[in-house]
Amino acid sequence: MIKTTQWIVVTLVLCLSISVAFSQGLAPPSNVTVVDTPNDDGSSITIMWDAAAEDSGISDYQILRQIADGDLEEVGELLPAGTTTYVDSSIEKGSLYTYIVRAVSATGATVDSEQTAPVKGTGEWFHTGKAALFIVMLLFSAAIVWNIYDARSGKEIFVRRIPGLEAVDEAIGRATEMGRSILYVLGLGSIGRIATIASMTILGQVARRTADYETPLRVPCIDPIVLNVVREVVKTSYVDEGHPDAYNEEDIFYLTGSQFAYAAGVDGMMVREKPAAIFLQGSFAAESLILAETGNSIGAIQIAGTDSEHQLPFFIAACDYTLIGEELYAATAYLSKDPMFLGSLKGQDWGKVLILGMIVFGVVLESFGISWITALLQQVN
């Protein structure tokens, strides 16, 4: 009996000793630093600490924080071993916080780091991570603006031939000779889409010619705001060309707000009215081929242009001419020959040269194991 009691006491003492020894081996998280999270609106604080050794016995971390004059409280869930950073996004802006990182072992033993110095979240006015993007934007904008004002001095600017835009006069002339209408489709884009605005600019130029030739111009719209702007654009073109009487407001109308109902409506117009020329300019989605193939089936000359790169193959297959991507935006300059617009095209080309140069230079540097261009571009991203 005495022996049994002695054995139990010895075992307990041994277990206790091992436990204490193990607990003492659980080192507190080291180098705990707390900073106001950079490039945010001041709604978070970042806590960082050194990674613990693999045999440290740490299985989790728990973050504790204390607001000035408040109690220490746990923040978030337990973090797995190996974590070295935690972003506390549940702070009150402007309040001072101190933090403790608590290491937790598999047995539940804990050891705390020292309490950090107080830090408060402050919003930054400039996102330093986007500095490279900001500089690139400024350079590109400056190149465009400089070229625009340089073009005003009367320098001749070369613009390569764009067959789709060269064919505008041909299409309008054909419709006039055949005594049929011209159908202008602006696509699904709202007034907020750059492609829609580019399309309206082309429409303005087309309307000038239809005003001169007194060819009917039909424009079905999917967006009521676009409708009203388009009416103004076409009316202005007719007035500028000295043919206000030829302008018919009813030829520019709202069709529907639904994508496929719009496609059905425009297809119906094509089949019933058989326009001689069809312009498909703007933002398009799945209805692009439905429209272009119907136009093709009635034998109309079709000039398409879109910034939706997924729809380009359909237009190329089904239309006579297609403005690919940026050509849609170049149309204003090309058709109007306005030096200010032509200057912006040149600036745009400078941007392309800059980007292509960076790509080629980056590929060469990467081949030699130097990756700072890649890092810079990733930062821009």
Partner 1 sequence: MKQQVPLVLCFLFGIVMILTEFSPHTASQATYKEIANWGRVISPFVFVLAVVTLIQTHWTRIQRRVEHWQYSLVVFFGMIVMVVAGLPYGPQHPAFKWLFNNVQVPMDATMFSLLAFFIASAAYRAFRARTFEATLLLLTAVIVMVGNIPVGDLLWPDAASNARQWILDNPNLSARRGIILGVSLGAISQSIRIILGIERSYLG
Residues 336-365 that bind partner 1 (CB under 8 A): 340-341, 344-345, 347-348, 351-352, 355
Q: Which of 56, 66, 115, 236 binds partner 1 (CB under 8 A)?
A: 236
What DSSP state is assigned to residue 70? Answer: S
Token pair for residue 282?
């703007």
C-alpha 4: how far from chain center: 76
Q: Is 210 in the site for partner 1 (CB under 8 A)?
A: no
The one-character DSSP state at 244 is G
In whole angstroms, the minimum distance from the beta carbon of 70 to partner 1 comes to 23
Q: Which of 249, 262, 197 is nearest to 226 (CA)?
A: 197
Residues 230, 200: contact at Cβ < 8 Å? yes
Q: Which residue has the tokens 């009917």?
A: 216
In whole angstroms, how close is the CB of 219 to partner 1 at the nearest point?
12
Helix (H) or strand (E) holding 219: strand 217-221
51 DSSP assignment: P
Site for partner 1 in 94-133 (CB under 8 A): 123-127, 130, 133
Nearer to partner 1, 102 or 243 (CB): 243
Q: Pick from 198, 217, 219, 304: which binds partner 1 (CB under 8 A)?
A: 198
Our CB check for partner 1 shows the closer of 56 and 256 to be: 256
Q: Which of 263, 280, 301, 303 binds partner 1 (CB under 8 A)?
A: 263
- Intra-chain end-to-end CA distance of the chain, in Å: 77
Q: How far is the CB of 333 from partner 1 (least distance, A)?
A: 9
User: According to CB under 8 A, which one of 103, 116, 183, 223 is a site residue for partner 1?
Assistant: 223
Residue 188 engages partner 1 in binding (rule: CB under 8 A): no
Q: Does 25 bind partner 1 (CB under 8 A)?
A: no
Distance from C-alpha of 273 to C-alpha of 161, rounded to nearest angstrom? 32
**CB atoms near residue 25 (< 10 Å):** 13
According to CB under 8 A, which one of 23, 84, 115, 228 is a site residue for partner 1? Answer: 228
By CB under 8 A, what part of segment 31-70 binds partner 1?
Answer: 39-43
Among residues 309, 367, 368, 369, the one that binds partner 1 under rule CB under 8 A: 309
- In sequence order, the 6+-apart residues with CB closer than 8 A to the CB of 291 are 185, 263, 266, 267, 270, 280, 284
CA 307 to chain centre: 14
**Interface of this chain with partner 1, residues 311 to 340, rule: CB under 8 A:** 312, 314, 316-318, 324-326, 328-330, 332, 340
**Segment 77 to 96, residues that bind partner 1, using CB under 8 A:** 93
**Rule CB under 8 A: which of 154-183 touch partner 1?**
none
For residue 98, give the H/E element and its range: strand 96-105
Q: Which residue has the tokens 């400089």?
A: 146
Q: In terms of Cα–Cα distance, which of 231, 305, 293, 229 is closest to 263?
A: 293
Q: Where are the alpha helices (DSSP H) in the chain?
A: 2-25, 131-151, 163-178, 194-213, 224-240, 259-273, 287-297, 312-318, 326-336, 339-367, 372-380
Shortest distance (Å) from residue 46 CB to partner 1: 14
Query: Do 221 and 253 form a contact (C-beta atoms < 8 A)?
Result: yes
C-beta of 98 vs 281, nearer to partner 1: 281
- Site stretch for partner 1 (CB under 8 A), options 53-61, 168-176, 289-297, 364-372: 289-297
Stretch near partner 1 under the rule CB under 8 A, chosen from 11-19, 165-173, 192-200, 210-218: 192-200
Query: For partner 1, which is the closer residue by CB, 212 or 349?
Result: 349
- Sorted by sequence, the CB contacts under 8 Å of residue 356 that are 6+ apart come out as none
Residue whose CB is less far from partner 1, 165 or 227: 227
Of the candidate spans 56-64, 70-78, 154-162, 187-195, the one that interacts with partner 1 by CB under 8 A turns out to be: 187-195
Nearest CB to partner 1, comparing residues 40 and 112? 40
Assigned token pair, 40: 């945010």
3/161 with CB nearer partner 1: 161
